[in-house]
Amino acid sequence: MSMIVRNLEHEEVVRSLYRAHGGASAVMLLTSQVLEGMLFFAHAVLKPGKEIEAHVDPYEEIYYILEGEGYMTVGDEGRAVKTGDAIWLPYGVPHSLKNTGDQDCAILVSAAMPR
């Protein structure tokens, strides 16, 4: 096993660009092709006024707000989130995030199968 280092400019990362649930531009930094216990580790950018639409995933996730702010909904609960917040998204629970600020909201997303 050798060390794997990726950044947002790595060719494989750039090629992975996709639109996440209608709102964010996202790239996969690491995927299950190299990870052992996780599904993926991604970076997403949500523009002001845009929203990652409500959806349900077949795995649990953590959203970590690198910069910016928004309104996060998980199930029936919603609250304002900001830089430095980590939000746990349980398996099978609907969730969404709207950028309520006037700057980009940058998010790290990790995903794993529940135990």
The runs of H, that is alpha helices, within the chain are 11-15
4 occurs within a structural domain = no
Percent of the chain with pLDDT over 90: 94
Closest to 70 measured CA to CA, from 38, 46, 27, 100: 100
What is the number of domains present in the chain?
Answer: 1
86 occurs within a structural domain = yes
Q: State residue 103's pLDDT score.
A: 97
5 occurs within a structural domain = no
28 occurs within a structural domain = yes
82 occurs within a structural domain = yes
The model's pTM? 0.93
Q: How confident is the model at residue 1 (pLDDT cuts 50, 70, 90)?
A: low
Q: State residue 114's pLDDT score.
A: 81
Question: What CATH number did the domain enclosing 97 receive?
Answer: 2.60.120.10
Question: Is the CB of residue 89 less than 8 Å from the CB of residue 39?
Answer: no
2 occurs within a structural domain = no
Instruction: Give the residue numbers spanning the domain of 57.
Output: 11-112
Q: Which residues of 14-45 are buried (b: 16+ CB within 10 A; e: fewer)?
A: eebeeebbebbebbbbbeeeeeeeebbbbbbb
83 occurs within a structural domain = yes
In terms of Cβ atoms closer than 10 Å to its own Cβ (0-12, 13-18, 19+), residue 98 is buried
72 occurs within a structural domain = yes
pLDDT tens sequence across 31-67: 999 999 999 999 999 999 999 999 999 999 999 999 9
Q: Return the structure tokens found at 75.
A: 């199930």
